[in-house]
Structure 1
């Protein structure tokens, strides 16, 4: 996959007359990725500067993306994956928009037929839910593939959080933004490293990073349940005074207990999500550790 990606990338950046720096993040790979990156560095054209950042272990996509942004030295920075679903030839269009005066240029996926039906639907539901309860809303169908000006990169480097949701952080810093639409391609090689469980956790990270609405919901829900319980209890007292003592129903009692118990467990789970984020932030550990730079 590495050689295929660099072949396509060199076709694009070879025609760019500006000075180009390519930063490769090796996120704790266990195959021959590092050796292949070194081979590409040695074989690269002389006008291209390739730097390799080798992590001490796998720290995840958000950490790798953070490292690339923090170590980039150019006036404009373009994060891109090596699976070629985001076409390198679009880099020229991103740079052209940036030269028009835009500080951030987004690559918006106008056609995602290469993804499965379920993935397209769940992504759409996530964007709708996230943007309805979070601020600022993140652009729909926009991934990490984009152009960031030096001003935007410097602003991102000031954000100290360890538990990072980069899509949200990219949007949060703002700046003058333009969009370019493109067709998302099929993966050229390899398999996705994001199974459904990781995608679910990724969505939870996105919501809890930029919204406290899930916490607020339980305050309102508790109020309405208390109000309903008060009204229902008052009705039982009135009926008992008028009609006498009724035989209590075991089944309805069990249903109510299980329902309220389930609500309490869900509420504790939501609290746990936010407490877990606070716990990880208070450790103040580095986002990643670099084993070597080549």
Structure 2
């Protein structure tokens, strides 16, 4: 993955974009050649775009510019799969992820690169130009990432990142179905820094990241990259079991002191609560084992390449 000839690999997942790709390439090229004076490669991943113009644009860019590689996936595998495909093909010492819609400023790449002594540098948008629904979703998602994935609480996550190749190499060794890049990232390292970057309004086309895809991304994090729900059930089972023991003790004392007018009531309630709590606790334990078995056995690919243009 690491090449002494290439300092930076820029990975761009693409879905249905076309005209923005030329401007994005030009601006990234200007940043590396004119400002940073660093070698780079630009990797576009066409994630099963429905726009018939997308692949011709990418294919043309890869044939015209030696720094550009374009990869076309067989179908839409989602942004996470597209990113993993880019990571597997990256050769630089540092990998930068940036969106294809020009809402991220390529001119802010030097700000990320200035902190490349850290494992991961994440762009924190000073002012987001998203809709209200997307901003709300982003805040909720960030909170859950801290709770479920171990993201440091002071870190704001975004798709605009710089990652050391060593970190990428480490989390690519983790074979899991429906992977989340953020989950893999925060599992491998906690050396993460934020840097303020700008955020622009989308100049071309409409966003392909619909509300449906937002919820799918969140569900993927919740069900496939954490055991939060199973742990919640286990904790609920333990709590109910503890409550049943406490209630049994109370009824036992009450029966000895003042008596209980309904025969069998105390034992029935206590046994019912105890068995229910024990069952929930057992389901949680079994679920933990199932998660580990599934993750270790069901090695579905995160992406499948249809064709590749340029090297």
- TM-score relative to the length of structure 2: 0.72
Residues 25/230 of structure 1: CA separation in 2 closer, same or farther (3 Å cut):
same
Q: 2:57 aligns with which of 15, 36, 44?
A: 36
Aligned to 2:89: 71
Match for residue 182 of structure 1 among 185, 192, 197: 197
Question: Matches of residues 79-228 of structure 1 in structure 2 within 5 Å?
Answer: 79-98=97-116, 101-112=117-128, 114-137=129-152, 140-174=155-189, 176-208=191-223, 211-228=226-243
In the alignment, does 2:42 pair up with 1:26? no
Q: Is the 8 A contact 1:106 1:145 kept in 2?
A: yes
Structure-to-structure mapping, 1:219-238, within 5 angstroms: 219-228=234-243
The 3 A distance-change label for structure 1 pair 271 and 13 is farther
Q: Which runs of 5+ in 1 are unaligned?
A: 249-259
Alpha-carbon offset, residue 103 of structure 1: 4.0
Cα distance in 1 for partners of 2:154, 2:296 equals 26
Deviates more, 1:102-111 or 1:81-90: 102-111
Unaligned ranges ≥5, structure 2: 1-16, 266-275
* TM-aligned CA deviation for residue 215 of structure 1: 2.1
Q: Quote the offset at 1:31 in angstroms.
A: 2.1
For residue 130 of structure 1, report the CA deviation from its aligned partner: 3.5
Instruction: Give the C-alpha shift of residue 278 in structure 1.
Output: 5.1
CA distance in 1, matches of 2:222, 2:88: 24
Shift of residue 90 of structure 1?
1.2
User: Is residue 106–residue 147 contact of structure 1 (8 Å, CA) maintained in 2?
Assistant: yes
Shift in alpha-carbon separation, 1:163–1:71, aligned structure 2, 3 A? same
Contact map agreement 2:112 2:161 (CA 8 A) in 1? yes
- Contact 1:163/1:281 (8 A) holds in 2: no
Q: Return the offset for 1:203.
A: 2.0
TM-score by length of 1: 0.75
Deviations 1:71-114 (A, max 9, x none): 0112222111111121111123223433xx344322112322x2
Question: How many angstroms apart in 1 are the aligned matches of 2:293 and 2:77?
Answer: 19
8 Å CA contact retained: 2:119, 2:189: no
- CA displacement, residues 144-178 of structure 1 (integer Å, 9 cap, x when unaligned): 21112232232233222232110122233227544
- Matches of 1:212 and 1:231, distance apart in 2: 28
CA deviations 1:222-274 (Å, max 9, x no partner) are 233345456667878969x868559x9xxxxxxxxxxx9xx97xx98998899
Q: SS of the residue aligned with 1:77?
A: strand
Q: Give the 3-state SS of the residue equivalent to 1:74 in structure 2.
A: coil
2:234·2:283 contact (CA, 8 Å) conserved in 1?
no
TM superposition shift of 1:34: 0.7
**Pairwise CA RMSD:** 3.7
Alignment partner of 1:285 is 2:305: no
User: Shift in Å at residue 210 of structure 1?
Assistant: 5.3
